[in-house]
Amino acid sequence: MNKPELWTNHFFAIITANGLLFASFHCLLPTLPLYIASLGASGTEIGLIAGIFGISAIFIRFFTNDLVTLLGKKKCLYIGIFLSLIATISYAFFTSIQMLMTARIVQGLGFGLGTTFAAALAIDIIPASRRGEGVGYFGLGNTISMGIAPAFGVILLTGFSAGFLFAFSAAAAALAIISTRFCGTTAADKPHSISPQLHKSIPFRSRFFETGTGFPSFFTMLFGIAYGSVNTFIALMAQEAHIGNAGLFFVTGTIFIFLSRTFGGRLYDAKGPFWVMLPGIVSYTLALGLIILSASLTSLLIASVFYGLGAGLIMPALMTWLFSSVPAERRSSASATYYNMLDVGTSGGIIIFGSVAGLTGYIHMYDYVLAIMFLFLAVFLFQHFFKPADPRRSVCSGKE
């Protein structure tokens, strides 16, 4: 039996649009704080501007059901990318902290919409029988952007000027809009596709946390705590351990995230989430243990191999599992749930473990991050072996 086609023009276009949106975001992630600091902002103001982004992204996802009902997913994606573009252009002209904060809020709103509806459109485009594989490939644009865009942003800011940085970010967003034009639409992507009766019956809490996604949502939040802590503090940990060139951790990690995504999705479709998540959790837990023990760049790079393999297996598996837990008409809300829980975990982990590091140092801080991954493993195994299966859904196969 022939597999349904995955690599259509529409699928390639949505991968490209998503990757460019993330490139526009990631090139500003390490550089915007530097730019704001050069304008005389205090540490508190820099933290507030950085933090308000995630809050506004979570806020806009409360309204995804209303927006998709009125406009459809593709138009919502256009709006999200356009808001990101406007915010990026604004950075080049705003010099006051208040106006920069306003622009950051707008970018957060745009990024919240863009990521939510890019994922929802991708799920509609991907054949159900190849959903795990398709979601894995869908995230490659983000993976590549995460590995390249931050370094390129630093080069533009330090080697040229902030104007070049913001021009690159704006160009990436503009190209994302063009790529969206070629994504096509599906029968499910029509305004008013959700009946008023069904829409009114949806609980308000489902705007943040979609009903029926309990375990994958909880695991997404737990992984966000560990993932955000590694991404944020690994350079400071390396500095504390007197390890140079710590940026290579992310270069190596990105390579192995890329590699694991190429086979993790196929394994998900064939075996289900357990056989992808379990090796991913074990690999990521091992990475944290190696980070704690690292005393040289070589040992840190070995840790980054397991970090990349673990993250590349866990993240697309969680997204696929979560999408497979809801009816087709609830995928926009499921997408919002995934990114909300990831943002909550990431933001919360950074705040909590940043405070812990102030007391213990960055190396010993990772002892507590490691404990989070042991909790993740314990709850995941309990869920798999003791939670009754739901016969209404074929979650393990990704089929509907």
| Mean local confidence (pLDDT), 200-214 | 60
- At residue 298 the predicted structure's pLDDT band, cuts being 50, 70 and 90, is very high
DSSP state of 324: T
Please state the three-class secondary structure of 51-106 as a single string.
Answer: HHHHHHHHHHHHHHHHHHHHHCHHHHHHHHHHHHHHHHHHHCCCCCHHHHHHHHHH
The boundaries of every CATH 1.20.1250.20 domain in the chain are 8-200, 202-386
The backbone torsions φ and ψ at residue 399, rounded to the nearest 5 degrees and listed phi first, read -90, 155
For residue 188, the model assigns a pLDDT of: 53
CA distance 90 to 136: 34
Could you tell me the pLDDT band of residue 361, with boundaries at 50, 70 and 90?
A: confident
- CATH number for the region 8-200 comes to 1.20.1250.20
Residue 198 pLDDT class (50, 70, 90 cuts): very low
pLDDT band at 390 (very low <50, low <70, confident <90, very high): very low
Query: What value, to the nearest 5°, has the Cα angle with vertex 361 and ends 356 and 367?
Result: 65
pLDDT digits (tens, 9 = 90+) for 137-194: 887 787 788 777 877 887 888 889 889 999 999 999 999 999 999 886 655 555 544 4
As a whole number, mean pLDDT of residues 235-240 equals 82
Residue whose token pair is 């590995």: 147
**243 vs 3, more confident:** 243
**Average pLDDT, whole number, for the chain?**
83
**pLDDT score, position 395:** 41
Report H helices in the chain: 9-26, 32-38, 43-60, 64-71, 73-91, 97-125, 131-138, 140-159, 162-181, 196-201, 214-240, 248-271, 274-293, 297-323, 331-360, 362-386
Rounded to an integer, what distance in angstroms lies between the CA atom of residue 132 and that of residue 121?
15
Query: Could you tell me the pTM of the whole model?
Result: 0.72
- Over residues 99-142, the pLDDT tens digits come to 999 999 999 999 989 988 998 898 888 888 888 788 878 877 87
Contact (CB, 8 A) for 76 and 117: yes
Fold (CATH) for 202-386? Growth Hormone; Chain: A; (1.20.1250)
